[in-house]
Chains A and B, each alone.
Chain A
Amino acid sequence: MQTTTPIFKTNHVERETKLHAVAMEVPIVDIQNLNVSARKTQILKNINIIIPKNSITVLLGPSGCGKTTLLKCLNRLTDLYSDLHLTGSIKIDGDDILNTKIDITHIRQKMGLLLQKPYPLPMSIYENIAYGLRLKGIRKRSVISEKVEKHLKEVALWDEVKDRLKSSAQKLSIGQQQRLCLARGLAVEPEIILADEPTSALDPISSRVIEEEFLKLRNDYTIIHVTHILRQARRLADYVVFMYYGEIVEYGPADEIFETPKPDILKEYMKVGH
């Protein structure tokens, strides 16, 4: 942990300028001085980043560096874990979600979530997508059916399931389930998509569908994508946040970062991960 501190320091000024470069873009997520600790151990240390609208920001770093925790802070799923203690602020569309009186369910509806494994709801394929729509107050059958079809087509699942919309979503293959989870997230019409290594359990074809979908969606959505796979980060990222032991070591536009990696630890990560 000590070794990372100097790297962080030498790049501090540069990092600040990059922060400003990125800040020129329209920010949608603005994290300031975020610290997360679990009892005595600090999981995230002084996180300061701005995530610009309508782009893909990749959180990159080795396992255990805090990527998942950072992602869960954004829609406050950290509430589920009593031992996590958060300080600092996270502004989403200007609302500080850590210190807000706004209903957390509304904030969560702004963000679609894809986890490492798909978790289809225990209901039919159709109902999986209708569920979130009904929570938003959409009741009209025709509207719901229309949206179900639209979003299943969006994730290239419609042709595979159109004849069995009423059957259990849990009977789909893992790859199909993950695409369904993406579809149900999109149906709620979020602004942000949070994805935590969404392809790690998938076959290559389903992985590619998800990646291609992300590339298509980036013009309309802000995608925050967690991965430890360097090649995937290169394929997807507009911006990269490189994390190591709970700290942000490097941060900025992807092409800059990958062409001239500065911190030693990132160079090493890129060498090993090629």
Chain B
Amino acid sequence: MTLRRKLEEKIFRVLSALFTLIVVLVLVHIIWSIVEKGMSSLSWQMISQEPKGGFYFGKEGGILNAIAGSFYLAVAATVLAFVISLPVALFMNIYLIKYQRLLISIRFFLDVLWGVPSIVYGAFGFTLMMYFGLRNSLGAATLTVAAMIAPIMIRAMDEVLKTIPIGLQEAAYALGSTKTETAYKVFFREALPGFATAILLAFGRGIGDAASVLFTAGYTDYIPRSFGEPTATLPLAIFFQLGSPIEEVQNRAYAAAIVLTFIVLCISVAARLLYRLRKN
């Protein structure tokens, strides 16, 4: 190797290491400051109780309403998004396989939707809600979040389906499968381990997003019992408590952030485990 190439190699390696370190440090710092401020307020009472009177002034109670609400919302939105995304992703990779140029446009369009800020979905959901005369509710928020995470799920599923070799499709047709049978009996199964990741990715985005539910979910101290009732969510619980001038309430916001971060972390770990388990 010439000296120049050796030097090049060295500089590049040092730079990569440096940037990696910076990213890790920033992440650790964020998590650390959340934990530092929130740990003191984190308690069993906080995650097992609904807010009592005076909770928002630093008195008794917890954020079970927001934890449960976020779970209901994310699960419902993920299920809804899945029901929409699965046929779309399969349609793209089975029926539209002949039309590669059209596929490129569709993928580009979905990527744009993926990049649209969630507040836009929130505003869109709000407009729809007003149009149909609905009130702030778990149902309205579910629709909004589903609309937001569907493009993510479709593209993530699409990426999985794209890697399936055309030979498997040919093999399925050669046995006499129709397109629909090829899609749901062969491609679906082949892609299932990868789909788990797509689903959990969308779920993680759905449970953590505040802006999309700001105008549609409403807020309540109670756990919703139907889609017609308003619901609290963890991101909004953090948002509202952080706005309080009382320090104890602010610390509770950080504690809620710990809970949310923990949930999202569990989801990504589960996604990875599931993927590896299915692969072996």
Contact = CB atoms under 8 A, between A and B. Distances in A.
- Asked if A pairs with B, the answer is yes
14 contacts: A77-B170, A80-B169, A80-B170, A82-B99, A108-B175, A112-B174, A113-B174, A121-B168, A121-B172, A123-B189, A135-B175, A135-B176, A136-B176, A181-B171
A173 to B, nearest CB: 17
Interface residues of A, number: 30
Interface residues of B, number: 24
Residue among B100, B168, B174, B176 with most chain A CB within 10 A: B174
Mostly helix, strand, loop or mixed at chain B's interface? helix
A87 to B, nearest CB: 18
Nearest to B165: A119
Nearest to B191: A122
A132 interface: yes
B269 interface: no
B190 interface: yes
A82 B170 contact: no
B98 A82 contact: yes
B171 A121 contact: yes
Ranked 3 nearest A-B pairs via Cβ: A113-B174, A82-B98, A109-B176
Interface of B: 97-100, 165-178, 181, 185-186, 189-190, 192
Contacts of B99: 82
B170 A122 contact: no
Nearest to A110: B176
Contacts of B174: 75, 77, 108, 111-113, 185, 194
Interface of A: 72, 75, 77, 79-82, 105-106, 108-109, 111-113, 115-117, 119, 121-123, 131-132, 135-136, 181, 184-185, 188, 194
Contacts of B169: 80
B189 A122 contact: yes
Contacts of A185: 174-175
Given A82-B99, A112-B174, 9 more contacts: A79-B98, A80-B170, A105-B173, A106-B176, A108-B176, A109-B176, A116-B167, A121-B186, A135-B177
A119 B172 CA distance: 9
Contacts of A194: 174
Contacts of B177: 105, 135
Residue among B100, B173, B175, B178 with most chain A CB within 10 A: B175
